[in-house]
Structure 1
């Protein structure tokens, strides 16, 4: 029987891009010797995305959709798509046309060569602003430096997963998901493919600096306890440094030299107070993840679907 390819596409306020994406996928997948289904996951869009998906699903048999009850985030949408996909392999990609559909035949050819995971690495796009490129580089530097995984700079959520890998990811019970790290952590036979991103057809990027930093912290705390060790080491270091103040205090006490005034004391208190709050914040992030995981709430809630 002809093998089935599932395409999972999370979308959020992408009503204008959906018809363009479907046409592009039909153009690329139509000539290939595979059956395919396209699963759009509407992550609680506030525009007409849900209505467009219903319309397109009524026009094309291969189009499926899942609509969330609210916005649960990109990673939750990916999880929903993987949970519903029944293909022999699953290709995930964004719905803004920046992940080029013309790369899909290459991903499939590498899959047929025996690779379980074929992931893409974005080449640096000179069209992006300097700040955007530096933010992206900072994201991967922080992630690789403070976690136990090693992701190439530019690693994207545009990837092909074999059915055995999909089954592993579907069975994970994590609440705070970070699929770029989970795919790397899972192992199997993996291959990276470079690509140049296409221009966004319409709309605007959903990732600002704040979301990128939160995404980095999510990845770091999901795959490493290094920040906790770092906090411990910093505590030990400053405890040792503080002992250097003891000889000075004793000297001043017995030889009658006045110790510096309140300004130095206030600065010291403010510094160590900030350091303690930072360390407590690190510990709090890990405790918060445990708290949310212990609730065992679903990662997403489906409002409507044609699957």
Structure 2
């Protein structure tokens, strides 16, 4: 019996890329002997993406779609696809064609040899992004590798293959801050990474703004580490000790006739510095408390408005 692959593709305003990615992936997999299906997740697109996916689903009986009620973000869109995928292996890939579909046969070879997760990472900085994006990307992966217990390669991508048993475990995870790249590293199993060179984006522009990237970075760190809290505690302890050491200096200066308390400029600078430091520490603590608050609400990660993948009795469907 032939094994089946589920190709999960999140799409946000990718109407001009849908047809081409179907052709590219089909070309890469047609000679492998596997059965395969496409699962497109329309993540709140406001262009013609959904209609284009529906058009392709009418042409090919192995193309399915999940239409989310709004834009929930790429990681939740991926989770929506994985939650409903039924293949023996699930492959996630971006719709912008920067992930080379030609790498799929090699990923399948590693899977057949026993690897349960085959992930990819860029072998060099993305030449199709500006220098600021490259620096911020490298800095992000460096920081998250330091503050968390997982090492993330620079340029780690959402182009990966996971075995069905891995996907079954991912389905059970229902966290508010869901960072797939970190979760894949955390979950364990037998993994191997493959370097790749990104292709030029066929059409459109990247969906992530600078604000979204910063939000993603902060949320990812909060989701996988409490080290920032330890850092805040350490900063507080260090400056408390420095303050204690400063008291003897004040007393000695006072009794020796020196005015140790003069200097308004230095006083204001010190107050401003410690005020900013306190706000930083409170911000770190507040971010964790905010995540806990949102998690306790137990809201669904996403809401499905419509799909042709399964028969939905009650619309919308919450997960």
Alignment TM-score, normalising by the size of structure 2 = 0.93
Give me the whole-angstrom Cα distance separating, in 2, the residues matched to 1:208 and 1:193.
Answer: 27
The residue that corresponds to 2:217 in the other structure is 216
1:119-161 alpha-carbon deviations (Å, 9 max, x no partner): 0011213443222211110110111111111111111110000
Identify the residue that residue 66 of structure 2 maps to in structure 1: 66
| Shift, 1:251, TM fit | 3.0
1:271 matched residue in structure 2: 273
Is the CA contact (8 Å cut-off) linking 1:135 and 1:209 kept in structure 2?
no
Using the TM superposition, give the Cα deviation of residue 255 of structure 1 relative to its aligned residue in structure 2, in angstroms: 3.7
Aligned to 1:225: 226
Equivalent position of 1:282 in the other structure: 284
Verify the 8 A CA contact 2:119 2:160 in the aligned structure 1: yes
Q: Is the 8 A contact 1:43 1:77 kept in 2?
A: yes
Counterparts of 1:1-307 in structure 2, within 5 Å, are: 1-124=1-124, 125-258=126-259, 259-307=261-309
Q: Does structure 1 conserve the Cα–Cα contact (< 8 Å) formed by 2:118 and 2:191? A: yes
**TM-score where L is the length of structure 1:** 0.97
Structure 1 CA distance for aligned equivalents of residues 207 and 144 of structure 2: 20
The alignment of Structure 1 onto Structure 2 pairs a total of residues equal to 307
Q: Secondary structure at the match of 1:243?
A: helix
- 3-state SS in 2 of match to 1:244: helix
Q: For structure 2, list consecutive stretches of 5 or more residues without a partner in the other structure.
A: 310-319
> Aligned equivalents of 1:268 and 1:64: distance in 2?
61
Q: Deviations over 1:89-141 (max 9, x none)?
A: 00001000001111111111111111100000112134432222111101101
Alignment check: 8 A CA contact 1:139 1:213 kept:
no
In 2, the alpha carbon distance for the partners of 1:145 and 1:110 equals 29
| Partner deviation per Cα, 1:223-261 (whole Å, 9 max, x = no partner) | 111000000000000011112321232134334433223
Shift of 1:32: 1.9
Distance in structure 1 (CA, Å) of the matches to 2:304 and 2:162:
23
Computed over aligned residues only, the root mean square deviation of the Cα atoms, in angstroms, reads: 1.2
Cα distance in 1 for partners of 2:129, 2:287 equals 32
Shift of 1:30: 1.7
For 1:271 and 1:175, the matched residues in 2 are separated by: 33
Query: Aligned partners of 2:70 and 2:127: how far apart in 1?
Result: 35
Please list the CA deviations of residues 275-298 of structure 1 after superposition, one character each: whole Å capped at 9, or x if unmatched. 011001111111111111100100
Q: Quick check: 2:174–2:301 contact (8 Å CA) kept in 1?
A: no
Counterpart-to-counterpart distance in 1, 2:9 and 2:128: 24
Whether the aligned pair in 1 keeps the contact of 2:17 and 2:96 (CA below 8 Å) is: yes
Assess if the C-alpha contact under 8 Å between 1:4 and 1:87 holds in 2: yes
Alignment gaps of 5+ in structure 1: none
Q: Deviation string for 1:163-194 (max 9, x for gaps)?
A: 11000100112121011111111111101111
Bigger mean CA offset, 113-122 vs 247-256: 247-256
* Structure 1 residue runs of 4 or more that deviate by more than 4 Å after TM superposition: none
Q: Give 1:209 shift.
A: 3.3
Local SS of the residue matching 1:248: helix
Shift of 1:207: 2.4
